[in-house]
A and B are shown apart, each in its own frame.
Chain A
Amino acid sequence: MSEPSTGSGRASSGYFLGIDVGSWSTKAVLVDGHKSIAGKAMRRSGADLKAAIEECRAEVLKQASVAAEDVKRTVATGFGREVVGFADGVRTEISCHARGAFHHFPKEMTVIDIGGQDNKVIRVSQKGKHISFRMNRKCAAGTGAFLEEVALKLSIPLEQFTGLSRKSTKKLQIGSFCTVFTSTEVLSLVRKGEKKEDIVRGLLASVAARIMEMEPISGTVVITGGVIAYNPGLRDIFEQDYGLKVEVPPDPQYCGALGAALYASD
């Protein structure tokens, strides 16, 4: 992802805004007429989605020194896409993550979007079209919400997960279908005296395992979404345990918003 411009010059063909209202965070990406990123912003979605949306919009406009009327088109995505009242169009996060990932890696690939409340496995053609997708079942296990829940129980900040998991020397199997059961499994491991770093690796591995059972996955894999942004150690698991070649775009949590902005620019 190119760095945000300082707003020194305005692209002649105007600007295009993508807003991704996710369950955990709201993201905005502004691109210019050359599809270069002119601004990006993120806020917790919280209970006031409209405030998060407005703050993100205001921030990207400020970063690019662009007035709201210079935005020619806005596309909204994410679970709260319908809340973006000023959007000119909506696209699902499935199409937007595919589009954003293809912008960085223009080839046939499988996109794995690991979000706060759901996971998606999206197959993208060599022309950049999403040709099929799978979403996880209605269950938090294997999602960002699951990691948050367990991190809280273990009193280990999420941002320490990657560092800890990279120190792991033992592969532990954790993998119930349900977050509550998994928490019980984890507490059993704690009682058994298993090391914190092995438990954390086991947790990340359980996320990967839940995704790997959604669909046979091979070839180029691009991981997007907030979970990989904060837990880059997850990439190691996909590579070490499943032999996949994994790419992660810069700022993977912005991939959906970028895709939305690119759709806006079409």
Chain B
Amino acid sequence: MAAKRVEIRASGALKQVMALHFEEIREAAEEGKGKVAWCTSVGPAELLQAMGFRVYFPENHGAILGTSRASADFIPAAVAAGYSPEICSYLTSDVGGYLKGETPLKKLYGFKAIPRPDVLVYNTNQCRDVQDWFSFYQREFKVPLIGVSTPHPVPELEESHIKGVEEQMEALVEPLEKVAGFRLDRDALRKAVRLSRECSDLWKEVLMTGSAVPSPLTFFDECIQMGPAVVMRGRQEAVDYYRLLLDEMRQRIKDGVAAVEAEKLRLYWDGMPVWGRLRDLSELFAGLRTCVVVSTYCNSWIFDELDASRPFYSMAKAYTKLFINRTEKIKEDYIRGLVRDFKADGIIFHDSKTCPNNANSRYGMPQRFAKEGIAALVINGDLCDLRFYSDVQVKTSIEAFAEQLGEK
């Protein structure tokens, strides 16, 4: 079925922001113009930005490996080196690429290799794999590995949780100062937190435009548009970009422009994207006149708690309160609220084989939603490793789900 896709005009500016991000890292790593810090995607990026590091996010690289389908070539090298094919396929794709000396960053942004880190900074708020992942590079590059061990999973957020993480974040400063070669400027930190919060607020507003009927954007657009919220939060460029994008989405709503022509069904996507099938899935849903209007994943870069007047405390709170770090009941209530607010007709749970922490279908949640009258479909797949993904099965499942919802 031919599906008409509405291009986002702001995407040209998006490419420029992402190109700037990678160029700054490349210059630092390859031309000595600054220091490079590697950071997990929901790690303390604001602190690193404030200290002048060029911040590189291996998970973003993992998504690029998935989208470019380079993962298929790289994962076997990591598996051969002793990394199980059943652990995070961001990790195995990335480590495998490193072992082979390959990265799409060469072609995309002119890198000679992945950028050599000066320091590795993690937060275990999303999973333990990130720590093991960064440990690999600590052994390879012999650079400091520091991080935050966040209590997991957190039920109601208590002061003790926040304080514990806040202390760990403050303890990062001294080793980071040693690597940077200068003291942390507290005003610069406050500025980074303020900009990060502005970015988060704007990103949230962009995502909220998806609650309009018809929706001006889809989950698949958001997976691309979220780039600056992940890699450039704490920077003015990200704020400027989301202002531009938000204006365009608001204009679409005014003009009645739908991301999916003749939108008939609206869905929630839970779990990771299938990076290597973003376009296929986008077209499949568009052909079914179905818009995936909201997701757990893209909402994960909304940090309502960031507060420039209390940078460490608010970072600790924001990064501990994350959806992925919460208990089942809280996740369930959160999803239910978004299904209601976005007027979703049902939920697709992507049970990503190698990302159990971000797969919420494994403890009976879809069945509990179904009992409440919220239709749910579970598809098996993976974020990067397409060997765990069946095009035929997923297509049939999604089409049958659309038929089921259409018959209601």
Contacts and interface: CB of A to CB of B under 8 A. Distances in A.
Contacts of A134: 378
Interface centre among A91, A95, A132 (most CB of B within 10 A): A132
Q: Which of A92, A118, A129, A133 has the most CB of B within 10 A?
A: A92
Contacts of B388: 138
B390 A92 contact: no
Contact of A132 (B375, B380, B389, B399): B375
Given A137-B380, A138-B380, A132 B404 contact: yes
- Among A130, A131, A138, the one with the most B-chain Cβ atoms within 10 Å of its Cβ is A138
Given A130-B403, A130-B404, A130-B407, A94 B396 contact: yes
Given A132-B404, A133-B400, 15 more contacts: A79-B392, A91-B403, A92-B400, A94-B400, A95-B403, A95-B407, A129-B407, A129-B408, A130-B404, A131-B404, A132-B370, A132-B375, A133-B404, A135-B397, A138-B393
Q: Which 6 A-B pairs have the closest CB atoms?
A: A94-B400, A92-B400, A129-B407, A95-B403, A138-B390, A92-B399
Contacts of B408: 129
Contact of B396 (A92, A129, A130, A137): A92
Interface in B226-272: none
A225 to B, nearest CB: 14
Interface string A130-156: 111111011000000000000000000
Nearest to A80: B392
Nearest to B404: A130
A93 interface: yes
Given A129-B407, A132-B375, A138-B388, A95 B380 contact: no
Contacts of B390: 138
Interface of A: 79, 91-95, 118, 129-135, 137-138
By secondary structure, the A interface counts as mixed
B393 A94 contact: no
Nearest to B402: A92
Contacts of B370: 132
Contacts of A95: 400, 403-404, 407
A135 B404 contact: no
A92 B400 CA distance: 6
Contacts of A135: 393, 396-397
Interface string B349-390: 000000000000000000000100001001010000000111
A118 B393 contact: yes
Nearest to B378: A134
Nearest to B399: A92
Contacts of A93: 396
